[in-house]
Amino acid sequence: MAKRMMYCWLSTPLSTAKQRFNIKTAPSFSRPVLASARAERSISTASKKKKKKERNKSVEELVVVKNDKEKRRTRSEKEYEELHSFHETESHVPVMLGEVVDVFSSLPLRSFIDCTLGAAGHSSAIIKGHPELECYIGMDVDPVAHAKARAHIDALLQSTRSSLKPHLLFKNFKYIKSVVGEIDDDCKLLSSGVDGILMDLGMSSMQVNNPQRGFSVLANGPLDMRMDPRASVKAKDILNYWPDDEVGRILREYGEESNWRWLQKKIVQARQQGGLHSTSELRDLIQGATHGTKGGRQGWIKTATRVFQALRIAVNDELNTLEKSLHACFECLVPGGRLAVISFHSLEDRIVKQTFLKIIESNGGDGDVVEEEAGKRDLRKMRNDIDAKETWIRQMVQGQNGTILTKRPITPSEEEERLNRRSRSAKLRVIEKIR
């Protein structure tokens, strides 16, 4: 494997603490910045070891270790407020909006697919920034998202007097290839490939903030958790009818919950009293099951968050769908086209990272990704087709089918994390198809 990969360290200096922590302006920022730096330093040895294991072995072999903080991610230095002028929606605040805009800004974007439309925050910024756009497709499985997105996009197109005809489809992104085939009848340029594709995974604020959808740990509602209301399985079906072992597996694998055995037992026992039907019943059960364990309120809330995450992943079959869809999206790209993915938890991010690595080196050839000793060559210099202004590209991984433009994921700026809590766990990874 070592012989087949080329890792390139780009020379963008990230080394000063000032740059790394995005200290740009007011002294009032220095407190949270230092607090955050201290918090990062205090990550336990155990969790460091776990994260290290998760990293792809082949990557690890070739990485020149600078320090852990630089290794794990690239903190965005984008100004947050400046970007927010793109977006005035009251419904869902798009995460890493400016960073996503930057990913596509150097490309002539004649065609674009937003796989996770939501309230069209990202889509609106892309449409606004690319008047050359001839074919736009937005997909989502949630009708509430469609209503919001349609209103935002229509208003934008009207205000800019654009003649773009958007295709908004109530479809799962796993069907992206057939969607491209269908829309190509109308929009001929898709047959040569799509210039840009975005996936912003996870839930929208419209979903989380509506207790009736069942996603919220704190507000009471039915145990539903379907993003697509046409789907047949709800969270309550899993809890009340699925085999005991399957319930345990979901908690263990999708929630990474160490107390899964105990919780599985309690959930199965609850079936004898009529089962679980509301989020508050599930929350009470978790609170009871974690009673006396360390962490107090924070302890059970964290457990509940993991259990809710596990159920949501299972109900929507999120992880299986993701890996297959990443391959499908990449296949839809035009040479030089880019796929950007924002993930919100480590299970998703691991799939994105590992699938990108698989994608760039696989196609039955002899796996001939050029090898280079880490740190010696600058891929940016070799790739003179990459715009010098694309400063967000720091380290790339070159394969025979494409280039991973974010060897380390980009994470939100400190300011965005402070102003939008939902952005805290976000990670952005980008891949480009070979030109």
Ligand X SMILES: C[S@@+](CC[C@H](N)C(=O)[O-])C[C@H]1O[C@@H](n2cnc3c(N)ncnc32)[C@H](O)[C@@H]1O
* Residues that bind ligand X in the complex, under the rule CB under 6 A: 92, 94, 116, 118-122, 139-142, 145, 172-173, 200, 202-204, 227, 321
Q: In terms of CB distance, is 121 or 255 closer to ligand X?
A: 121
Dihedral sign (CA 51, 55, 59, 61):
positive
CA distances to 44, 45, 60, 74 from 51, in Å: 11, 10, 12, 16
Q: In terms of CB distance, is 227 or 247 closer to ligand X?
A: 227
- Least Cβ distance, residue 5 to ligand X (angstroms): 31
- Least Cβ distance, residue 265 to ligand X (angstroms): 31
- Least Cβ distance, residue 416 to ligand X (angstroms): 14
CA distances to 54, 198, 245, 306, 409 from 345, in Å: 13, 17, 24, 10, 12
Q: In terms of CB distance, is 343 or 403 closer to ligand X?
A: 343
- Least Cβ distance, residue 98 to ligand X (angstroms): 12
Degrees to nearest 5, angle at CA 213 with 209 and 169: 95
- Least Cβ distance, residue 340 to ligand X (angstroms): 11
Read off φ and ψ for residue 411, nearest 5 degrees.
Answer: -115, 160
Neighbours of 344 (CB within 10 A): 19
CA distances to 62, 224, 243, 251 from 238, in Å: 43, 10, 8, 11
- Read off the DSSP letter of residue 251: I
Taking CB positions, which residue lies at the least distance from ligand X?
118
- Return d(Cα 173, Cα 179) in angstroms, integer: 9
Which tokens sit at 291?
């009673």
Which tokens sit at 199?
């996936």
Report yes or no: 216 and 352 within 8 Å, Cβ to Cβ. Answer: no
- Least Cβ distance, residue 424 to ligand X (angstroms): 14
Using the structure block, give the residue that is written with the tokens 């009871």: 288
Report yes or no: 126 and 114 within 8 Å, Cβ to Cβ. Answer: yes
- Return d(Cα 140, Cα 200) in angstroms, integer: 11
CA distances to 124, 125, 331, 351, 417 from 84, in Å: 12, 10, 32, 30, 14
Q: In terms of CB distance, is 69 or 234 closer to ligand X?
A: 234
- Return d(Cα 369, Cα 244) in angstroms, integer: 45
- Least Cβ distance, residue 126 to ligand X (angstroms): 10
Which tokens sit at 145?
């998202």
Q: In terms of CB distance, is 145 or 314 closer to ligand X?
A: 145
For 249-273, letters b (16+ CB in 10 Å) and e give: bbbbebbebebbeebbeebbebeee
Q: In terms of CB distance, is 204 or 406 closer to ligand X?
A: 204
- Least Cβ distance, residue 324 to ligand X (angstroms): 10
Q: In terms of CB distance, is 97 or 135 closer to ligand X?
A: 97
- Least Cβ distance, residue 210 to ligand X (angstroms): 12
